[in-house]
Structure 1
Amino acid sequence: MSAVKLNQSDVTTQEAAKLLGISVTSVQQLVERGVLVAWKTQGGHRRIPREAIDALKAERSDLLTDRGRSAPSSTLSALIVEDNALQRMVYEKQIASWDIALETRFCENGYQALVEIAQRKYDILLLDIVMEGIDGYEIVKTVLANPDLRHIDIAVLTTLSREDLDARGGLPDEVLFFQKPIVFEELRGFMRGCAARKARQARVASPA
């Protein structure tokens, strides 16, 4: 992305997402693939010309996979619960670089997470275990106890070892375990598997 003169019609990534009707992550992916033109300010903030957005809407509507009827079947929603701000930034940067239609939201504690889960049925839940107040165990227990939330794929991301977790009572068989520091290729594989399974379910539910 090359520097250009600031234009009043240039918009932020968040504003572009609203204009296109897709997630911020999807906008980032289009920029990284060179489909959507963008540039960065001296402060490192991404800006996208309004003309580029209008052109994409007119010429490549097939790439706007979050829009209309295709959104439920093509875009995953993930809730990431992590109380460390730096770790949240690492997750956000890594996930944005993956070629996965994924809409992510972050929570910094268990209370926020339970509120989010009650308001929206996420596809994926990634969470730390050791947190003040409502910890990861309580969140997992709450999700698995609710029949309406059994579709959620859950993975624990923690500094604890498998032995440490077993000493605390272990994890349910359906909950995956990733030890920090995270091997992001493994986490990416998990997310891609979730995406493939959702796509298969959508095809079965809506046959051509």
Structure 2
Amino acid sequence: MSAEVCTTQQAAALLGISVTSVQQLVESGEIEAWKTKGGHRRIPVTAIHAFKASSQGDSPHAAAAEREERLVVMIVEDNPLQRGIYEAQVGSWNFPVRVHLCDSGYKALVDIAKDKPDVLLLDIVMQGIDGYEVMQTVLSYPELADVQIAVITSLEFEDLERRGGLPAGVTYLPKPIAYDELRGYLRACHAQKLKSMHAHGN
């Protein structure tokens, strides 16, 4: 290890966490890093110290575990004002959540591949690739089977039925959104995530 940079394995040793945890922290932007031409990650030692400082006295392992327990919520909404309201509302609720905003169905499909969310909140009526198409695409991939999907729409059930209806397991939340209902839904999703993590020994 040079005085300035380290490998993923060296960063894991410095932080006392697993290599996988370091990779997740890098991918989420929590730790600064870059890749060499050969595809190997290099992490500035200063970034390691900055991450330790941001943990506010918690052990790196505890900080990484807390991040893994956050509910990752991707909100797909083409109205910028509505996106801001969702972000403010969800961010104000007292449970660990990370909000990922998308302004189009196309961007959602790109971002889902990079940052698999726990929950997908979909506006149905959008230009281009709409929420219904995003939902159908996500449901067609077995590796995304555990993503919870809720559609938030002003369309009536009858309108959705004309497009084939909502598949089993997809939640319908009518607009204007009742935020107490949305909060209850996300809390249930978070409880399910924690239960699944503990069942798999994470």
What's the CA shift string for 1:156-182, capped at 9, x where partnerless?
001111122112221111110001000
Please, what TM-score do these two structures have when normalized by structure 2? 0.70
The structural deviation recorded for 1:55 is 9.8
Question: How many correspondences in the alignment?
Answer: 154
Q: 1:55 and 1:206, CA in 2 relative to 1: closer, same or farther beyond 3 A?
A: closer
**Residue of structure 1 in register with 2:46 after alignment:** none
**Residue of structure 2 in register with 1:57 after alignment:** 56
> Could you list the runs of 5+ residues in structure 1 that have no partner in the other structure?
1-20, 23-53
SS in 2 for 1:57: coil
The structural deviation recorded for 1:56 is 7.5
Quick one: percent identity of the two aligned structures?
45
The one-letter code of the counterpart of 1:67 is: A
In structure 2, which of residues 67, 70, 77 is the aligned counterpart of residue 71 of structure 1?
67
| CA distance in 1 between partners of 2:55 and 2:66 (Å) | 17
| CA distance in 2 between partners of 1:65 and 1:88 (Å) | 33
SS in 2 for 1:130: coil
> Could you list the runs of 5+ residues in structure 2 that have no partner in the other structure?
1-29, 32-52
| CA distance in 1 between partners of 2:62 and 2:109 (Å) | 25
Q: 1:65 and 1:105, CA in 2 relative to 1: closer, same or farther beyond 3 A?
A: farther
The structural deviation recorded for 1:93 is 1.1
8 Å contact kept, 1:81–1:113: yes
| CA distance in 2 between partners of 1:103 and 1:130 (Å) | 24
Q: 1:203 and 1:166, CA in 2 relative to 1: closer, same or farther beyond 3 A?
A: same
**Residue of structure 2 in register with 1:106 after alignment:** 101
The one-letter code of the counterpart of 1:57 is: Q
What's the CA shift string for 1:30-75, capped at 9, x where partnerless?
xxxxxxxxxxxxxxxxxxxxxxxx69713xx28x998223432x11
| CA distance in 2 between partners of 1:82 and 1:146 (Å) | 22
**Residue of structure 2 in register with 1:158 after alignment:** 153
The one-letter code of the counterpart of 2:105 is: G
- CA RMSD in angstroms, aligned pairs only: 2.5
**Residue of structure 2 in register with 1:178 after alignment:** 173
Q: Does 1:124 align with 2:119?
A: yes
The one-letter code of the counterpart of 2:67 is: A
What's the CA shift string for 1:71-120, capped at 9, x where partnerless?
32x11111100000111011011111101211011010011000001112
8 Å contact kept, 1:81–1:108: yes
Please, what TM-score do these two structures have when normalized by structure 1? 0.68
